[in-house]
Amino acid sequence: MVQFYSPNRRSVNRGIISVTADNLDAQGQGIARHQGKTIFIQGLLPGEQAQIQLTEEKRQFAKAKVVKRLSDSQHRVDPHCPHFKVCGGCQQQHVATELQVNTKASVLEHLIQRETGIGISAHPIIHSPEYGYRRRARLGLQYHAKQRTLLMGFRQSQTNDLVNIKHCPVMHSELEQLLQPLHQCLNSLNAVKRLGHVELVLADNGPLAVLRHLDSLKHEDKEILRTFSVQHNVAIYLLGDEKSLEPLMEGQPAPWYQVGGLKLIFSPQDFIQVNDEVNQQMVAQALAWLDLQPTDRVLDLFCGMGNFTLPIATKVQAAVGVEGVAALVASGQYNARINELNNVDFFHENLESDIHQQPWAAQGFNKVLLDPARAGAAGVMTHIVKLAPEKVVYVSCNPTTLARDSKVLLEAGYHLVSVRMLDMFPHTGHLESMALFSSEPMDIE
């Protein structure tokens, strides 16, 4: 048999070795060193000694699993969730909150230092409740033919298999309480084998569920859902395909949430921040950093449905939001009208294309906020510099692209004034942050 050499193929030493973790990464993996190589070990905390077995080995690092833990860290806690070790939703419920947030803040500080050369603290941290913080969750649905039952839950770590979720303590209690009765309801439908997913959302005016079904629902199934809706006070929406969202019953009130003293109505399919408490603090911090004045003209890029734009508009001469998703732009425009904000405009534009010919780009702004997706905002950074705003607030869900994009502002003479770590998703590896840049030197907070 012919064998081909692969330079990337490396044998893994399957022997047992003993290590002591000396650090933690943002994903909750312990970091240890052995014979000059860095090893990432899922489930091991700083200070803990363990016998481990390598599962993956590269030239510069390796990954390993714990065979036997020989000591316990003072930061090790009991997970609240019975599904913790199998569900892929949370990775760090075994880690004390203080260590989680301080580790993420340190990772953020390290990335900024490495990319920009600036040493800056990510404290004070914007904290979240430890549990009950999620107001939105999408659960997969899968009919198990052998067991003749519906599985409803999240994916297992590194697989496509569903974990049948009965409890989820990171979900808001109003949503968690729906899990078991909702499962029973969906399992009783004639269409149980042809369901895709269900999304639970907690609006300020009550919970709602969006059910993705692959075939048209028959009358008796709709009656079962109507009974569940009334009994549990849940507004139900049916999603036959990705564009055909319909309320189950006429007269269902539109969902809404409050931010910055405003009431924002949204479609169940609109993006809203999962963690309401952190969102409130984040918006308040952004407005304080911008130091908004009645004469300001403020630009909000990647604005969504106006989570920042509309509160900003209550304090300035003019606010402009630019967003690539048409439905979110329509929601922003609608909410501007119902909140009687006549000084705000929304533009539906692709911010990853040539922005210089877009209609908003010719306007003048003295302050800018941007909240891009994980890929960052490379396509708009030079235009922000061209606008020469006094202040720029960058909200980020990816510290790597935040650090990268920061260099454009710093090279243009801007000063990095302050950084915050946002604990938007406790017990997970997600790291949210925000940074303030100023055209003039300011005292670092």
* pLDDT single digits (tens) 322-349: 999 999 999 999 999 999 999 999 999 9
Predicted pLDDT of residue 244? 86
Please count the other Cβ atoms lying within 10 Å of the Cβ belonging to residue 95: 24
Strand partners, 298: 319, 367
Q: Are residues 291 and 388 in the same domain?
A: yes
pLDDT of residue 5: 39
Q: Which of 225, 256, 287 is the last residue of a domain?
A: 256
The reply to whether 164 sits in an annotated binding site is no
pLDDT of residue 443: 66
Q: What are phi and psi of 403, to 5 degrees?
A: -60, -40
Per-residue pLDDT at 10: 53
Confidence of residue 31 (pLDDT cuts 50, 70, 90): very high
Q: Flag whether 264 is in a domain.
A: no
How do residues 344-363 score in pLDDT, each as one tens digit? 999 999 998 889 889 999 99
- Which amino acid type is present at position 120? I
For residue 179, is it within any domain?
yes
pLDDT recorded at residue 13: 62
The CATH number for 290's domain is 3.40.50.150
For the chain, what is the mean pLDDT? 93
Asked if the structure places residue 263 within a domain, the reply is no
pLDDT by residue (tens digit) across 433-445?
999 999 988 765 5
Q: Is residue 392 part of a domain?
A: yes
pLDDT at 444: 56
- Over residues 279-313, the pLDDT tens digits come to 999 999 999 999 999 999 999 999 999 999 999 99
How do residues 236-255 score in pLDDT, each as one tens digit? 999 997 678 999 999 899 99
**Within a domain: 251:** yes
Domain assignment present for 393: yes
375 in the same domain as 324: yes
Same domain flag for 157 and 186: yes
> Is 323 known as a binding-site position?
yes
Helix (H) or strand (E) segment spanning residue 422: strand 415-422
Q: What is the pTM assigned to this prediction?
A: 0.92
Bond into 124 cis (ω within 30): yes
Q: Is 303 annotated as a binding residue?
A: no
Give the mean model confidence (pLDDT) for residues 206-212: 97
Pair 244, 145 in one domain: yes
Active site residues: 397
CATH of the domain at 44: 2.40.50.140
DSSP string, 307-373: TTHHHHHTTSSEEEEEES-HHHHHHHHHHHHHTT--SEEEEE--TTS--TTSGGGGS--SEEEE---
**Same domain for 241 and 308?**
no
Where is the domain boundary, 226, 256, 286? 256
Considering 256, 288, 320, which residue would you say is the last residue of a domain?
Answer: 256
Both tokens assigned to 298: 């403020």
Residues 236 and 220 in one domain: yes
User: Residue 229: left if φ>0, alpha if ψ -120 to 50, beta else—which one?
Assistant: alpha
First to last CA, the chain: 66
Domain containing 221 equals 136-256
Do 386 and 332 sit in the same domain of this protein? Answer: yes
> pLDDT class for 2, splitting at 50, 70, 90?
very low
- Strand-pairing partners, residue 140, are 153, 197
Please check whether residues 336 and 423 belong to one and the same domain.
yes
Shared-domain flag, residues 190 and 336: no
pLDDT at residue 6, rounded to an integer: 43
pLDDT in tens, 142-172: 998 888 899 999 998 778 889 999 999 999 9
187, 67: one domain: no
DSSP classification of residue 216: P
Q: Does residue 40 lie in a domain region?
A: yes
- Annotated ligand binding at 53? The verdict is no
Query: How many independent structural domains does the chain possess?
Result: 3
Strand 391-396 vs strand 344-348: parallel, antiparallel, or unpaired? Answer: unpaired
Is residue 120 domain-shared with residue 163, that is, in the same domain?
no
The CATH number assigned to the domain holding 235 equals 2.40.50.1070
Mean pLDDT, residues 387-394: 97
Q: Is 347 annotated as a binding residue?
A: no
- The answer on 231 and 304 residing in a single domain is no
Is 249 in a helix, a strand, or coil? coil
Return the half-sphere exposure (C-beta side, CA atoms, 13 A cut-off) of residue 435: 30
Q: Residues 256-275: pLDDT tens digits? A: 999 999 999 999 999 999 99
Is 185 annotated as contributing to ligand binding?
Answer: no
Q: Does residue 202 sit within a domain?
A: yes
Span 75-84, average pLDDT: 94
